[in-house]
A = this chain, B = another copy of it.
Amino acid sequence: MEKLKKYISVKDEDHFYHQGAAELLIFNFLLILTILTIWLFKNHRFRFLHETGGAMLYGLVMGLIIRYVTKSPDVESGTIYECEKLKSGPSTLLINITNQVYEYQYKREISHHNVNGHQGNAMLQKMTFDPSIFFNILLPPIIFHAGYSLKKRHFFRNLGSILTYAFLGTAISCIVIGLIMYGFVKAMVHIGQLKQWEFHFTDCLFFGSLMSATDPVTVLAIFHELNVDTDLYTLLFGESVLNDAVAIVLTHSISIYSPKENPNAFDAAAFFQSVGNFLGIFAGSFAMGSSYAVVTALISFMHLTKFTKLCEFPMLETGLFFLLSWSAFLSAEAAGLTGIVAVLFCGVTQAHYTYNNLSPDSKMRTKQLFEFMNFLAENVIFCYMGLALFTFQNHIFNPLFIFGALVAVFVARASNIYPLSFLLNLGRKQKIPRNFQHMMMFSGLRGAIAFALAIRDTASQPKQMMFTTALLIVFFTVWVLGGGTTPMLTWLQIRVGVDPDEDLKAKAASQSASNLDKNTTKAESAWLFRIWYGFDHKYLKPLLTHAGPPLTSTLPEWCNPVARLLTSPSAYGDQLKDGDTDYIINNDELTENFESSAHMHVPAQGSTGSIQATGKEDIKEGDLGLGGYKLQLQHTAGQPQNLLA
């Protein structure tokens, strides 16, 4: 008898495994369909539905099928059991059921009004996965990839504008959405559609902050494909990358904001605490991410020079790189900071320093690995968003609220882009033209981050209404705005088919022609940044990478013994290498592969990887106005071609 029972329990467990397999299989199936569709679209140069839109569509259809075709086998799950002995929910619960002890793990808290949803379909419940999966598994590779593939040269040219849009713009967007939604909520209460207590102003601000995370992945993919004007691309890309970080921390700060008495009244202390929280978390996460990247850079640097030969094992190098970057995320989370922000700045710093130290093989491996993880994670998220419309069981559709949110999102985008562009144009030498502003306005898509932030907390009714609304706005913007990108580009007469490097050169030339004083060109970059760049170029790069001038020439003379110790021997000869960090950029165009198949009797041509990237050095240095090294670099810039010819 006992024996039999044991077998049954083993089979039960097997059943659980197989269930999990079936759900994953559904995702796999959706992803395979998406890939086949993308490939078909790419082949026919069909740009009205991007891969993310396609993934969402397939998810939607699958959700519909799961919802209305599968049946509910698990009736018991709707019942609530009383447990008087417990005071709070422990993380694991041991329960004695007919003389067998079962272990249960805490999943989440449920509001009373949601309990009915649980009587429904067990399959639906299983398809709705834990929000922590988004934050801990799916988002990090996407964000890291964004940081790692930042077009640094163009990014830094527009740093001031990008920071303005990202910080100030996101704050404006958050407040505008919050205010409009609060107005709508008040109006809805007035006409009796909502109960007063349900929505506080902080809830509206919370919604505003999560809806401020823009994700123009569709737009950027099309921009990339069509080679749209580089400045526009950089402004949008830079804004969206930093904006995610800002929105995440902002949402967190607002959710912590708890005024002591009346939640509707303004509490200055609590407000400043929230602002302090925001700054503290942001700065902490930034520091955490960067320092992991610096550690990685140091390890890879040491390995390459002092002890040598980590580069002989590209697998180990790639593994180390991957693990340390992930650790940046995990450490930030474990320390109560924001992992996503840490991993973003880790990516940026890795690209800036560590990438230089990697062997050619590892450069390619890491790039492809992160590209692949980004691709998978992105499509999983969009599939899941499609699924969620039908599988999530506690949707609250409120047409007025949704309409209000749609209006709010557009008004907020407009009051972010136009006023800030006006202000920026006062300071910029090279103005942001009207059509760029319209395009940026149009590219305010909402995507993965907004969704992830909304799904993180769906316990209360207001939060559920927000989640439903956020989901629908994501659908709307991805399909309508994403699909309209190409027509919009034509309509706004924005240049396409621009070679980024040529473009930059031309702009720099036209500028230096119009004003002979070099310093005005420099003024475009913020002074703070110029100081930082100088410091970075003179001290950090030589310390952490094999690029840049040797420390012996940048440090004061009395430091020479130390400087000589710390400088890589290759730095003396390879000063021209400094530029290759910029070339991580062109994900598709530039696949740096190197012949190293020793067994194949092929002469190893082009195996001296880092030399390749130096050909265009003159442009960058010219821009940044670091005249001290410019001349030297221009002298050597012609060499690589000779080497490889």
Contacts and interface: CB of A to CB of B under 8 A. Distances in A.
**Looking at chain A, what size class is its interface with the partner chain?**
35 or more
Copies of this chain: 2
Given A28-B330, A39-B310, A599-B590, A107 B104 contact: yes
Nearest to A255: B10
Contacts of A299: 36
A87 B595 CA distance: 65
Interface in A425-478: 457, 459-460
Interface string A28-60: 110110011011001100000000000000000
A91 B74 contact: yes
Interface string A61-92: 00000000000001011111111011111111
B368 A258 contact: no
Contacts of A605: 595, 602, 605-606
Interface string A1-32: 00110110110011011101110110011011
Interface in A197-252: none
A98 interface: yes
A118 B94 contact: yes
B97 A77 contact: no
A598 B589 contact: yes
Interface stretch (A141-149, A333-341, A549-557): A333-341
**Per DSSP, are chain A's interface residues mostly helix, strand or loop, or mixed?**
helix
A29 B295 CA distance: 13
B98 A81 contact: no
A95 B43 CA distance: 53
Interface in A105-161: 105-112, 115, 118, 122, 125, 132, 135-136
A173 B126 CA distance: 41
A43 B602 CA distance: 27
Interface in A588-602: 589-602
Contacts of A100: 89, 109
A97 B86 contact: yes
B95 A16 contact: no
A108 B98 contact: no
A10 B255 CA distance: 9
A97 B106 CA distance: 13
B81 A319 contact: no
B107 A92 contact: yes
A186 interface: no
Interface stretch (A188-196, A321-329, A405-413, A503-511): A321-329
A93 interface: yes
A125 B103 CA distance: 12
A398 interface: no
A318 B322 CA distance: 19
Closest 3 CB pairs of A and B: A21-B333, A104-B104, A89-B102
13 contacts: A10-B255, A17-B132, A18-B334, A21-B331, A25-B331, A28-B330, A32-B324, A81-B93, A88-B97, A369-B369, A591-B597, A593-B593, A601-B641
